[in-house]
Amino acid sequence: MSKPDLRDALIAELQGQLETMADQFAEYRTHSERLLAVETENARMMGQIEVLANVAPIGEHLGAVADGMDALSAKLRSLPRKQQTGVEDALALLQDQMTSLSQAVQMSLDGGPNRPLLSKALEDWIDVRNGFGIDPKKVNTDRNRILDFIEFADDRPANKYSYYDIQRFANLLVRVPGNYSKIPQIKGKPRQEAADYNDRLPAKDRLPTLSVKSIEDNYLSPLRMFFRDVAAVHGFRSPLSEVEIRISADATPSIERQPFAVPELNLWFAHAAKEPRADMKWLPLLGSITGARIAELIFLQGKDIYRMRGDDGTKCWVLDLRTELVTEGGGTAKRKTKNKPSRRLIAIHEVFESVGFIEYAQTRKAEEWLFPAAFYYGKRRVNDPADAASKRMNRMLQDVGIHKKQEAVFHSTRHNAKDFMRMAHVDERTHDLQTGHALNTVSKRYGSKHLVQQELQVLRSLPLPDGLDLSPYHQSAASR
């Protein structure tokens, strides 16, 4: 009998091990692919970073198996050349499959194939958004704030940003001076430099930083919309999906606007009633009683104020923001309002008849601006009439001595109007329709979406607060 060749036994043993390993690997790969698909989808849908952390070991395990295959390959290569045939081919195929799967797992964990750079995605987003009818100024501001983020976090493929990138950006903004654009040393500089500049100042000279509201409204809100839209277009999960960006308690607290006290309104009205310009005279009273925004009032035309007759024959004056504007050439232009509820009918209080406002409004032709001077600074036409009017109103408040930065401004009159209606026990849905606030419950959304005749009558005769002195306006009307 010939002596058995130990090398044949070794080859047989290795072949057996390889077949067993291949079977185990095939079974493992099937289960891991299913697990990976389920876990990855859960992670992307739920936004749970912890879940993604649980998926990562799959890639590590595959890597370990691949390492074992490399070791087995090295052992086979140590055998005589003629005994490696067949075994190496099977092993090479298995290694290729292992590598391919491992790479696929790792790519999935890394967010998948690269999407366009964030800067490119931003320009596409802005191009589409320009067709939404949003104020171009708002669109450009949002674009600049997202560019601030790109400057901070670098320009990467859109799907390669994480929650922590945005959270770190929010942490930086807490240190940025609120009026950085007006400081020569840091105007136009990256936010990081602006924050570092402020940090280096002595504690007593340090500038107030961005407020919580400014960070949320001007930076985080546009980023949420941007990543949501871009993720939907390019098929990846937004880093802001189902997560909360926390704003540090070190941020400057937001200032809540407050209504003017009745004595403050009396001072303002006494000053405004003497103004020769129509906008300077009537805007304070209109804002305080109707609750209309300054941009809504500035773009009023003669046709927008008229008298409505009810089914019972009663009449009341209204201010109508539901129509389009008439242009100088006789065409029409879309009336820009803040949102859908802003396109509304507003009841005009009966006091506006006795103080002379209705009489003044009737002197304006249908296509004429109600307050034409508001569109000019001297002979030069202003770019943003509403913004210019807001600044003029706030300067008047300063002259009267009742202005408080961000807290007591023209917009505070909307708070006054709300308080007047609440004190008169006007139904909440009615005064939401009057001021253009969203009907935010199912119950409120049922019924007419504009004030009906009975509501117009209630608001027309609304009791005004005790002590509110409109005699300066009555005296001005009597003196004409």
DSSP letter string over 428-452? HHHHHHHHT----SHHHHSS-SS--
Asked whether the predicted pLDDT for residue 237 surpasses 70, the reply is: yes
pLDDT of residue 87: 52
Distance CA 267, CA 224 (A): 43
Whether 375 and 360 have beta carbons less than 8 Å apart is answered as no
Amino acid at 443: S
472: phi then psi, degrees, rounded to nearest 5: -60, -35
pLDDT of residue 48: 45
Distance CA 176, CA 364 (A): 48
pLDDT band at 67; cut points 50, 70, 90: low
Which tokens hold the place of 94? 């298995």
179-193, 420-434, 455-469: segment of lowest average pLDDT: 179-193
Strand partners for 193:
none
Strand partners for 380:
377
Torsion, Cα 79 85 88 90, to 10 degrees, reads -140
Separate counts of helices (H) and strands (E) for the chain:
20, 7
Whether 344 and 321 have beta carbons less than 8 Å apart is answered as yes
Distance CA 157, CA 402 (A): 51
pLDDT of residue 417: 95
Asked whether the predicted pLDDT for residue 264 surpasses 90, the reply is: yes
User: In 10 A of CB 54, how many CB atoms?
Assistant: 13
Amino acid at 337: T
Q: How far is CA 323 from the centre of its chain?
A: 27
User: In 10 A of CB 478, how many CB atoms?
Assistant: 10
* 180 vs 350, residue with greater confidence: 350
- The set of long-range contacts for 130-137, using a CB threshold of 8 Å and a minimum separation of 24, is 133/334, 135/336, 137/384
pLDDT band at 47; cut points 50, 70, 90: very low
Instruction: Give residue 294's region: left, alpha or beta (phi > 0; psi -120 to 50).
Output: alpha
Distance CA 336, CA 374 (A): 17
pLDDT of residue 441: 87
Which tokens hold the place of 441? 């419950």
Identify the residue whose tokens are 């009907």.
439
Q: Collapsing DSSP states into helix, strand and coil, what is residue 159? A: helix
Whether 473 and 273 have beta carbons less than 8 Å apart is answered as yes
Distance CA 101, CA 217 (A): 44
The percentage of the chain sitting over the pLDDT mark of 70, rounded to a whole number, equals: 77
Mean per-residue pLDDT over the chain, rounded: 84
Which tokens hold the place of 458? 């209630």
Whether 301 and 366 have beta carbons less than 8 Å apart is answered as yes
* 70 vs 395, residue with greater confidence: 395
Torsion, Cα 278 280 284 285, to 10 degrees, reads -20
Contacts of 322 (CB under 8 A, 6+ apart): 343, 344, 345, 450
pLDDT of residue 253: 86
- pLDDT tens across 83-102, in order? 555 555 555 555 555 555 55
Which tokens hold the place of 103? 């790479």
Distances (CA, A) of 298 to 45, 305, 372, 376: 46, 13, 9, 12
pLDDT band at 6; cut points 50, 70, 90: low
User: In 10 A of CB 65, how many CB atoms?
Assistant: 19
Asked whether the predicted pLDDT for residue 9 surpasses 70, the reply is: no
With residues binned 3-state (H G I as helix, E B as strand, rest as coil), the percentages for the chain, rounded to 5, are 60, 5, 35
CATH of domain 118-174+210-234: 1.10.150
User: In 10 A of CB 3, how many CB atoms?
Assistant: 5
Amino acid at 155: D
Asked whether the predicted pLDDT for residue 41 surpasses 60, the reply is: no
Identify the residue whose tokens are 């601030």.
148
Rounded to an integer, the average pLDDT of 284-289 is 97
Amino acid at 463: P
CATH topology of domain 262-478: hpI Integrase; Chain A (1.10.443)
Asked whether the predicted pLDDT for residue 302 surpasses 60, the reply is: yes
59-63, 268-272, 427-431: segment of lowest average pLDDT: 59-63
pLDDT band at 455; cut points 50, 70, 90: very high
